[in-house]
Structure 1
Amino acid sequence: MIDAPILRHAETDADVMACFGVMQQLRPHLQSSEAWLARVALQRAQGYRLLAVWDGSKPVALAGYRRIDNLIHGRFIYVDDLITDEAGRGRGHGERLLDELRTLGRADNCNRMVLDTALANALAQRFYFRFGLLARGLHFSMDLQ
């Protein structure tokens, strides 16, 4: 009997390090697992958590998120990162992660779940629309360095 993949937060440094290969598919600018671990430590101080779909001891999909309060959305879940390992796409891992984030957000009295994606990322946009996420605005940014 094969165990089904489970959802579990990456709580330890070892867990976070195990997630590096999957996250690097989404964030290729992350050049080392040590730099990745330092970034996660910094973001954890800002409320960041990393939820993963684990197939045994191997993460196959990740959702980095935090709870934020602001004047636009009130209390909400912001999804910083959402990625499924390229070899495991199409198996429902992304939907499973978003379902769990929705559940966590509701339990924490959040008004909404928010995420950003690139304008050119049509496949992700289609996935988000199917899940029920709606485009409600444009996100503007400017490089400062």
Structure 2
Amino acid sequence: MNKNVSEQIKELVTEAEWLEAFPVVNQLRTNLDESSYIKLVKGAKELHYYRLFGLYSKNEIAAVIGFMPMTTLYNGKFIWVCDLVTDYPKRSMGYGKKLLAYIEDWAKDNDIGIVSLSSGLQREDAHRFYETKMDYKKVSYVFLKNVD
């Protein structure tokens, strides 16, 4: 990490980097322990081309975003943002906006015209962020059923 750069976004590609991001990710994905988190990241990378990026501020991870490039009949080629979380004490400092803008640019650079995500119904602050600060449109509901 360049000590002269106060903020930097970089892809997290090693298990050590994933573990460094875990305390921040765990604020969103509270159901995961380190072991299950590592297994899920490995599996998602291998099966679905999952990518994980961290925004570092003063050489510490301030925010994390995970996404998958996908193709569906509905959207064609698009980015599905699976995880976006800013470390709690660092929220409302623009880190989430910077990471999401970075992924939007990544999509454009890779000839992908849509970035999509879902957000839990209870996360009203996140919804305001996506709609008012990032200009995302509410276009559908996501339905889920456990079948085990």
Q: Tell me, which stretches of 5 or more residues in structure 2 are unaligned?
A: none
Q: For 1:82-121, what aligned pairs fall within 5 Å after superposition?
A: 82-121=84-123
TM-fit CA distance, 1:12: 1.0
2:83 to 75, 81, 84: 81
TM-fit CA distance, 1:2: 6.8
Q: Paired residue for 1:48?
A: 50
Q: SS state of the match for residue 20, structure 1?
A: helix
Q: Paired residue for 2:139?
A: 136
Give the Cα–Cα distance (whole angstroms) in 2 for the partners of residues 3 and 103 of structure 1: 20
CA deviations 1:105-125 (Å, max 9, x no partner) are 111111210000011211000
Indicate if the aligned counterparts of 1:73 and 1:111 stay in contact, CA closer than 8 A. Answer: no
> Aligned residues, how many?
144
Asked whether 1:20 is paired with 2:22, we answer: yes
Q: Determine what percentage of the aligned residue pairs are the same residue.
A: 24
Give the Cα–Cα distance (whole angstroms) in 2 for the partners of residues 3 and 101 of structure 1: 20
Deviation beyond 6 Å, 4+ runs, structure 1: none
Indicate if the aligned counterparts of 1:76 and 1:111 stay in contact, CA closer than 8 A. Answer: yes
Q: Tell me, which stretches of 5 or more residues in structure 1 are unaligned?
A: none
CA deviations 1:20-41 (Å, max 9, x no partner) are 100000000002x222111100
